[in-house]
Amino acid sequence: MSDSLPVLPLKDTIIFPQIVVPLAVGREKSLAAIEAAVAAGGQFIAVAQEDPGIDEPNLGDLYVTGTIVKITRVERQDNGSQVIVQGDRRVKLLSQTDEDAYIAATYEPLIELDLSETSSDASEIEALLRVNREIAQRIATLYDTENGAQIYQQLVGHLTNPVIQMYRIASLANVEVSKQQETLECETTLDLMRKVNGILTHELRVTELRREITESARDDIEKQQREHVLRQQKQAIEEALGEGGDDEDIAELRQDLKEAKLPADIQTEVDRELKRLGRMSANAADYQIARAYLELVAELPWHTTTDDNLDLTHAQTILDEDHYGLEDVKERILESLAVMQLNPKSKAPILCLVGPPGVGKTSLGQSIARAMGRSFERLSLGGLHDEAELRGHRRTYVGAMPGRILQGLRRAKVMNPIIMLDELDKLGRDFRGDPSAALMEILDPAQNKEFRDNYLNLPYDLSRVMFITTANTLEGVPRPLLDRMEVLDVTGYSDLEKKSIARNYLIPRQRSEAGLKNDQLALSEIALEQVIRRYTREAGVRELERVIARLARKRARQLVEGESVSAEVSIDTVAELLGPERFKQDGSRDQQHSGVAAGLAWTEAGGDVLYIEASRTPKEEKITLTGHLGQVMQESAKAARSYVWSIAHRIGLDRDKIEAEGIHIHVPAGAVPKDGPSAGVTIATAIVSSYAAMATDPKVAMTGELTLTGLVLPVGGIKEKLLAAHRSGFTHIILPKDNEADLAKLPEIVKDDLTITLAGSLDDVLQVAIPMLKLKA
Ligand SMILES: Nc1ncnc2c1ncn2[C@@H]1O[C@H](COP(=O)(O)OP(=O)(O)O)[C@@H](O)[C@H]1O
Ligand SMILES: [Mg+2]
């Protein structure tokens, strides 16, 4: 035991006895420790933190073994101090003495290592010492940088105390702090020699490897330079001789073109190009352009097709193998196959898969290709503005290229791939031309037999391609384009369907992605439910697949690190692996204020719950609408208010009074634009609730358009809206009476969980939504 000394926690350094180290001190407590040390004789204890991430460590966050150091110089700077210290001796920290401004602790000195502990180990120590010096020498010669070499040379050169020499190696070597700490903790000289031997061997290997890598890179560069020079010389010779064109090159190209078996008229064109190429100098800028063009012609498929597999059982098997449910869509695909079987001349229909993100539209396209044995190419239309991207640029353009359709065919190498035009609704349109015009031609069976790409500038037959398009919404897709396609709705999934998809598709897939065996990752029923409800909120399963992938990776890491874990992820381990829940609460609220009503909206991302708020305001403000509402929604808000006024007496309100004041209607998530008439009943309900000062039932959500006479009209997106309401925990839904037919498409489980009221008029709505309200006749 001894007096106590200030303690300085170190983030990424270890200070060894006798070694001089500059320290940059910035933390307030550390500066205080230095000041105290200077005042009391210039000594403190330097100890590394176990976790450098901790900003205000306690004694418990530090290693136990540290070093007493002497301050040789302190330079105070703007943002801290630069302190030069020299290690003195190793100590063990005992207990914290009470100090607020900085840590201080009592300590116990540890033995000082030296060679004089003559023992049975002496010869082994001697041997290791020599080996270590040799390795250091080798490293020194391998080092490229002067600096590195010097470091190690110094080590071998100076005949200092061997123990100090080892400490110096450990302090300079490129190893983690924890390794250095282990070195500091060595209790015998033999241990120390062994530890440093480990460090040096590792360092040697790394240095050798690094050198090999640099050398092989250097060889590469030299080879490239040589080729470059040779090529330039060759060019100069050719120029001098007036020779152009590389005959061999052209012969090869001619051969490739012959093998492409071009249609006769195309062959004529190509022959002309080839002749032109033959007359050109290989250095002419045009030569490369003409050559690239002919290469494209040679690589495009002009004859090759794959045979379709139209076997229905086979197709059904593949489709089921890849996707759960989606019965309507699968059915429709099988029908098309049947027709193609009976009438081989019939054209494959252009399917357009419409639905929220993550419901499997893109992957369904892949699956259809797999079922039919066709190759598959996907072109994302998102953000595509320029017609030329689809149709190519004329060759006279600098950097001209064929359009994406031809590029896809070139990749596919067959004339009859499935080409998926993904995200049709994200197609842009601006001054560069309207790509939808080009699409119209591509998708028109009457025109696409002779499709003209600007770059190719020859007719190309697209009629054997099967096109499939996808979109989140059909809004904004030009009508004539829509007319060419057969629209198939792919709706979102209920929690139960998501569970099946996860069990049968996503979990097995991610398990094998992560290289896990079946018994290494399983989810209990409630754990899976937890994942679906608390970590994702979406119509599709994209996010769910990501979360499961994350689970699989975490599990893989645990296994690799040798943790023993049970195969099944239980409800308790979910949070441990995935972190805190992302969606704390169900969307529905436990309690509702008056003036608030829950509406159901439909967006591109699927259904969503939208709370609509109404609040009375002074008269001058009349009607205020906020929350980024579109024109149609604003009008339906005004209509709703007028209708509520007209039934004021039946709600028990004084019409003159409410007409004399204003009302404010707000739809939160103000930055998201909202529009459409389907919030009419919700707005009216919120207004009534506000006027009557009675809350709506928090478990009720609604949708429907409202007329000026109080009738409820049908709206779209019912299935998505109901799925969203179910996801968010609502139990009672009010729908327009005329939407009854849409209920047929709803999964049973959702229907079982929900009470549904079909409303013909606002009266029907109010009775359910505001239970306390008594409507007078
Ligand atoms: N019904 C389903 N059965 C199995 N997996 C599905 C199903 N629906 C979607 N997935 C998977 O979810 C992921 C996202 O699907 P994706 O095709 O990208 O959706 P979309 O194109 O509709 O946005 C894919 O890995 C897909 O295989
Ligand atoms: Mg997609």
Give 314 Cα–ligand 1 centroid separation in angstroms: 21
Structure confidence at residue 502 (pLDDT): 95
Structure confidence at residue 682 (pLDDT): 95
DSSP code of 450? G
pLDDT digits (tens, 9 = 90+) for 181-196: 999 999 988 899 999 9
Residue tagged active-site, from 594, 678, 689, 690: 678
Compute the distance between CA of residue 712 and CA of residue 274 in angstroms, rounded to an integer: 71
Q: Which amino acid belongs to residue 205?
A: R
Give 366 Cα–ligand 1 centroid separation in angstroms: 11
- Give the ligand at the shortest distance from the Cα of 360: 1
Please report how many Cα atoms fall inside a 13 Å half-sphere around the Cα of residue 318, on the Cβ side: 19
Rounded to the nearest angstrom, the gap between the alpha carbon of residue 116 and the centroid of all alpha carbons in its chain is 61
Nearest of 447, 449, 468, 474 to residue 349 by alpha carbon: 468
- Mean pLDDT of the region 331-340: 91
Instruction: Dump the DSSP string for 710-768.
Output: SBEEP-S-HHHHHHHHHHTT--EEEEEGGGGGGGGGS-HHHHHH-EEEEESBHHHHHHH
The pick from 496, 510, 542 for probing ligand 1's pocket by mutation, whose C-beta has the most ligand atoms within 8 angstroms, reads: 542
Q: How many CB atoms lie within 10 A of CB 236?
A: 11
For atom 5 of ligand 1, the residue with the nearest CA is 323
H, E, C per residue of 193-226: HHHHHHHHHHHHHHHHHHHHHHHHHHHHHHHHHH
- Give the ligand at the shortest distance from the Cα of 424: 2
Residue tagged active-site, from 171, 499, 721, 728: 721
Ligand 1 site, CB within 6 A: 323-326, 357-363, 501, 505, 540-542, 545
Compute the distance between CA of residue 30 and CA of residue 49 in angstroms, rounded to an integer: 13
Give 490 Cα–ligand 2 centroid separation in angstroms: 12
User: What is the number of residues in the chain?
Assistant: 777
H, E, C per residue of 135-184: HHHHHHHHCCCHHHHHHHHHHHHCCCCHHHHHHHHHHHCCCCHHHHHHHH
| Ligand 1 atom having least distance to the Cα of 357 | 23
Give 406 Cα–ligand 1 centroid separation in angstroms: 27
| Ligand 1 atom having least distance to the Cα of 490 | 22
Do residues 113 and 186 make contact, with C-beta atoms less than 8 angstroms apart? yes
Tell me the pairing of strands 418-422 and 466-471.
Answer: parallel
| Ligand 1 atom having least distance to the Cα of 353 | 22
| pLDDT > 60? residue 760 | yes
The pick from 322, 324, 359 for probing ligand 1's pocket by mutation, whose C-beta has the most ligand atoms within 8 angstroms, reads: 359
Can you name the residues that pair with 109 across neighbouring β-strands?
Answer: 91
Give 20 Cα–ligand 2 centroid separation in angstroms: 61
Percent of the chain with pLDDT over 70: 93
The pick from 379, 470, 538, 541 for probing ligand 1's pocket by mutation, whose C-beta has the most ligand atoms within 8 angstroms, reads: 541
Q: Which residues of 100-131 are buried (b: 16+ CB within 10 A; e: fewer)?
A: eebbbbbbeebeebeeeeeeeeeeebeebbee
| pLDDT > 80? residue 646 | yes
For atom 15 of ligand 1, the residue with the nearest CA is 360
* pLDDT band, very low/low/confident/very high, at 254 (cuts 50, 70, 90): confident
pLDDT digits (tens, 9 = 90+) for 544-584: 999 999 999 988 888 888 887 777 888 888 888 888 888 76
Q: Which amino acid belongs to residue 337?
A: L
Compute the distance between CA of residue 697 and CA of residue 706 in angstroms, rounded to an integer: 20
- Give the ligand at the shortest distance from the Cα of 382: 2
pLDDT digits (tens, 9 = 90+) for 22-50: 898 888 888 899 998 988 889 999 999 98
Residue 669 burial class via C-beta count within 10 angstroms: exposed 0-12, middle 13-18, buried 19 and up: exposed
The residue behind tokens 């029923």 is 525
Do residues 65 and 92 make contact, with C-beta atoms less than 8 angstroms apart? yes
- Give the ligand at the shortest distance from the Cα of 364: 1
- Mean pLDDT of the region 730-752: 88
Q: Which residues of 171-206 are buried (b: 16+ CB within 10 A; e: fewer)?
A: bbbebebebbbbbbbbeebbebbbbbbebbeebbee
Give 436 Cα–ligand 2 centroid separation in angstroms: 19
Global model pTM greater than 0.75: no
- Give the ligand at the shortest distance from the Cα of 423: 2
Do residues 18 and 167 make contact, with C-beta atoms less than 8 angstroms apart? yes
| pLDDT > 50? residue 540 | yes
Is-catalytic flag, 678?
Answer: yes
How distant, in Å, are the alpha carbons of 62, 439, 475, 699, 756 from that of 771?
63, 54, 37, 12, 16
Give 357 Cα–ligand 2 centroid separation in angstroms: 6
Nearest of 672, 732, 744 to residue 702 by alpha carbon: 732
For atom 17 of ligand 1, the residue with the nearest CA is 360
Give 40 Cα–ligand 1 centroid separation in angstroms: 70
Do residues 11 and 109 make contact, with C-beta atoms less than 8 angstroms apart? no
Give 493 Cα–ligand 1 centroid separation in angstroms: 11
Q: Which residues of 34-63 are buried (b: 16+ CB within 10 A; e: fewer)?
A: bbbbbeeeeebbbbbbbeeeeeebebeebb
The pick from 333, 363, 504 for probing ligand 1's pocket by mutation, whose C-beta has the most ligand atoms within 8 angstroms, reads: 363
CA dihedral 213, 216, 221, 225 (to 10 degrees): 170
* pLDDT band, very low/low/confident/very high, at 1 (cuts 50, 70, 90): very low
The residue behind tokens 């094998």 is 512
Nearest of 105, 234, 86 to residue 164 by alpha carbon: 86
Q: How many CB atoms lie within 10 A of CB 538?
A: 20
What would the two tokens of residue 515 be? 């290289």
Compute the distance between CA of residue 577 and CA of residue 556 in angstroms, rounded to an integer: 11
Compute the distance between CA of residue 345 and CA of residue 340 in angstroms, rounded to an integer: 7
Do residues 590 and 731 make contact, with C-beta atoms less than 8 angstroms apart? no
- Mean pLDDT of the region 683-707: 93
Structure confidence at residue 157 (pLDDT): 58
- Give the ligand at the shortest distance from the Cα of 359: 1
Residue 489 burial class via C-beta count within 10 angstroms: exposed 0-12, middle 13-18, buried 19 and up: middle
Compute the distance between CA of residue 490 and CA of residue 286 in angstroms, rounded to an integer: 50
Q: Which amino acid belongs to residue 498?
A: K
| pLDDT > 50? residue 329 | yes
| Ligand 1 atom having least distance to the Cα of 355 | 22
Q: How many CB atoms lie within 10 A of CB 683?
A: 28
46: left (phi over 0), alpha (psi -120 to 50) or beta: beta
Task: Indicate the SS3 state at residue 479.
Answer: helix
* pLDDT band, very low/low/confident/very high, at 323 (cuts 50, 70, 90): very high
Compute the distance between CA of residue 530 and CA of residue 525 in angstroms, rounded to an integer: 9
Residue 277 burial class via C-beta count within 10 angstroms: exposed 0-12, middle 13-18, buried 19 and up: buried
DSSP code of 504? I
| Ligand 1 atom having least distance to the Cα of 356 | 22
| Ligand 1 atom having least distance to the Cα of 544 | 12
Compute the distance between CA of residue 149 and CA of residue 512 in angstroms, rounded to an integer: 47
Q: How many CB atoms lie within 10 A of CB 721?
A: 28
Compute the distance between CA of residue 19 and CA of residue 183 in angstroms, rounded to an integer: 14
Minimum mean pLDDT range among 218-227, 368-377, 488-497? 218-227
The residue behind tokens 């001209």 is 400
Structure confidence at residue 238 (pLDDT): 66
What would the two tokens of residue 590 be? 């436990």
| pLDDT > 60? residue 146 | no
Compute the distance between CA of residue 641 and CA of residue 664 in angstroms, rounded to an integer: 11
| Ligand 1 atom having least distance to the Cα of 497 | 1
Q: How many CB atoms lie within 10 A of CB 429?
A: 16
Backbone angles phi, psi at 452, to 5 degrees: -110, 115
Is-catalytic flag, 615?
Answer: no
Give 323 Cα–ligand 1 centroid separation in angstroms: 8
Compute the distance between CA of residue 469 and CA of residue 701 in angstroms, rounded to an integer: 34
Structure confidence at residue 195 (pLDDT): 92
| pLDDT > 90? residue 237 | no
For atom 11 of ligand 1, the residue with the nearest CA is 360
Structure confidence at residue 90 (pLDDT): 95
Structure confidence at residue 673 (pLDDT): 67
Tell me the pairing of strands 43-48 and 4-10.
Answer: parallel
Please report how many Cα atoms fall inside a 13 Å half-sphere around the Cα of residue 631, on the Cβ side: 0
Give 489 Cα–ligand 1 centroid separation in angstroms: 14
